Amino acid sequence: MNRKPNIALVGVTGVVGTTFLKVLEDRNFPFENLYMMASAKSAGKEILFKGKTYIVEELTPESFDKDIDIALFSAGGSVSEKFAPIAASKGVIVVDNSSQWRMDKEVPLVVPEVNPEAILENKGIIANPNCSTIQAMVALKPLHDAFKIKRIVYSTYQAVSGSGVKGIDDLKNGLAGNDTTNAYPHPIAGNCIPQIDVFTDNGYTKEEMKMINETHKILGDENIRVTATTVRVPVFDSHSESINLEFEKPFTIEEVKDVLSKAKGVVVQDDLSNNTYPLARSVAGTDEVYVGRIRRDFSLDNGLNIWVVADNIRKGAATNTVQIAEELLKHI
């Protein structure tokens, strides 16, 4: 592109939407014109961004009649289902943060450190993966390339910010002694809830099935056996994951650490003598994926355990979306 792009942010007043703004500023993302869109109840709100005041406009089918090159969506699945095709029909490339398009065969599902080439397959819509899948993929793709993964067991410990404002409020209220819940089926303060999203007929939650299905799609290998248990924990920011892997090829721990230390977007924190490993609190506010507790699983051949932590609102949502837009700029 010979000029700076015109960008639209859809759902700009939500938790991820406001983080879009932080990430765009932090990464100095180039743009000519910026349009901020949200629901009718947020229309008219003023937002100061990079020294300029923007007025949030109501999202309507006519919103994309403007000259817009890229639209970053984070307004929920029903909004994306309705408005993303409208935007795409008018020449806008949509990067969508909802679950609406992720498993659509016509829509690429992209983690820029993992499969940036898939961006070129877009037909107007690109899907941002689930937050817990994104951080896992950044860590697992280089290991898959080196040793070929046969099986993955995910166990996640997910922050309340993944549920938006309601989840954050549930934890704040619970810590203050009020167990009224709006986001969860049980109080989250002092609790671990082994249910994220609703249960499906097979006994897994939708969140667990997202991790399983998205892993297959992003890695491009349906033969990898994947299972998952996703748990909501009383942490405000950053998802933590215990990931157990079985490889086809043998490895040494030194080789694993070397692969991860050279991987794009990965930071290895693994110094047991100093109790150093990734922590949700220290990772919050960053864009990298942190890996530690790297150790052999002695219960099977070629088994490995790793601990993976990332900021679920930044890398798990806003940053990954902006990174996709950055990749797009190379091709449009």
Cα–Cα distance measured from residue 2 to residue 332, given in angstroms and rounded to the nearest whole number:
9
For residues 238 and 131, what is the distance between their CA atoms, to the nearest angstrom? 10
CA distances from 253 to 159, 293, 295 (A): 29, 11, 7
The SS3 of residue 261 is helix
Torsion of CA 207, 209, 213, 216, to 10 degrees: 90
Q: Which of 144, 186, 216, 239 is catalytic?
A: 239
Work out the angle at residue 133's Cα, subtended by the Cα atoms of residues 265 and 245, and round it to the nearest 5 degrees: 85
What is the CA angle 232-235-238, rounded to 5? 90
- Amino acid identity of 107? V
Tokens of 12: 């700009």
In the residue annotation, 131 being an active-site residue is answered as: yes
What b-and-e string marks burial along 214-240, b requiring 16 or more CB atoms within 10 Å of the CB? bbebbbeeeebebebbbebbbbebbbb
Residues labelled as active-site residues: 131, 239
